[in-house]
Amino acid sequence: IEQNMQKHEKLEVISHLSASISHEIRNPLQVIKGFIQLLHTKEYDREKQKEFYQYMNEEIESAERIISDYLMFAKPTFDDQETISVEREIEKAVSIIQPYANLSSVSIQYTGLASDHLIDCDHQRFKQVIINIARNSIEAMEGGGKLTFKVKGDKDHVLVIIADTGKGMTGEEVIRLGEPYYSNKATGTGLGMMVVYSILKNIHGTIEVNSMPDKGTEFLIRFPKSMQQPK
Ligand code: ADP
Ligand code: MG
């Protein structure tokens, strides 16, 4: 029964994600198509053409943002879960977001590298969780700041703590996290945290968010420890 439930949950997550992604990407594609048709049917002056190209570019960027929040690393299907080292995967995720942090004058601190805590999770989805959270943290620190990663383990769980010194959230904002299309950004997708919550649900992980406006935010993500864990 347990296995069937898991399978059912997985299918639910996949169909939910793929239905919204195709919808979300079709929108900008339709707009681009519309402009191409316009440019085809009529001779527009140079200024008008430039305006159209500008709109098309914005739509392409919007599609790119959706793809990166959604399935930067995702394979088309959920694989059987693999056993990964949380420390090694965070290390890889940090190297991917490092340039983005540099651009925003954010320094990344990472402790916990000395050990290897094992969990059962597709490594690409784990990385997507870490990167979606970290990217929000960087975006919340407009004038720069500090992004900290910590890993801890107890008997049954591995805990990953991601903390920023950004603008923080009110209690209401925290409650709305993970709601599809909830975004406070001019060019946000509102999909990043929904993807995080979906992936965590799928692997029986939990997340706790502590935030204080103007102080910062802390994400505590708890994963079931792998059975492969050495004693
Ligand atoms: P997006 O980043 O596209 O807006 P997300 O689902 O990733 O969508 O995030 C939803 C919203 O949650 C953001 O627009 C932001 O207002 C808020 N948020 C998420 N993480 C943080 C954070 N670390 N600090 C402050 N606000 C955050
Ligand atoms: Mg985001």
Per-residue pLDDT of 164-221, as tens digits, reads 999 999 999 999 998 888 999 998 888 899 889 988 988 899 999 999 999 999 999 9
Task: Please give the structure tokens belonging to residue 119.
Answer: 């969990």
| Mean pLDDT score across all residues of the chain | 86
Task: Please give the structure tokens belonging to residue 79.
Answer: 């694989």
Residues within 5 Å of ion ligand 2 by Cβ? 136, 192
Could you report the per-residue pLDDT of 90-102, keeping only the tens digit for each? 999 999 899 899 9
ipTM: 0.99
Task: Please give the structure tokens belonging to residue 92.
Answer: 């890889």
User: Which atom of ligand 1 lies nearest, measured to the CA of 176?
Assistant: 12
- Pick the ligand that lies closest to the CA of residue 182: 1
Give the global pTM: 0.81
Q: Whose CA is nearest to atom 13 of ligand 1?
A: 183
Which of the 8 DSSP states describes residue 114? T
For 194-221, letters b (16+ CB in 10 Å) and e give: bbbbbbbbbbebebebebeeeebbbbbb
User: Which atom of ligand 1 lies nearest, measured to the CA of 187?
Assistant: 3
> What Å distances lie between residue 15 and 18, 20, 39, CA to CA?
5, 9, 36
- Average pLDDT value for residue range 70-80: 59
How far does residue 126's CA lie from ligand 1's centre (Å)?
18
Place of tokens 């681009």: 32
How far does residue 106's CA lie from ligand 2's centre (Å)?
16
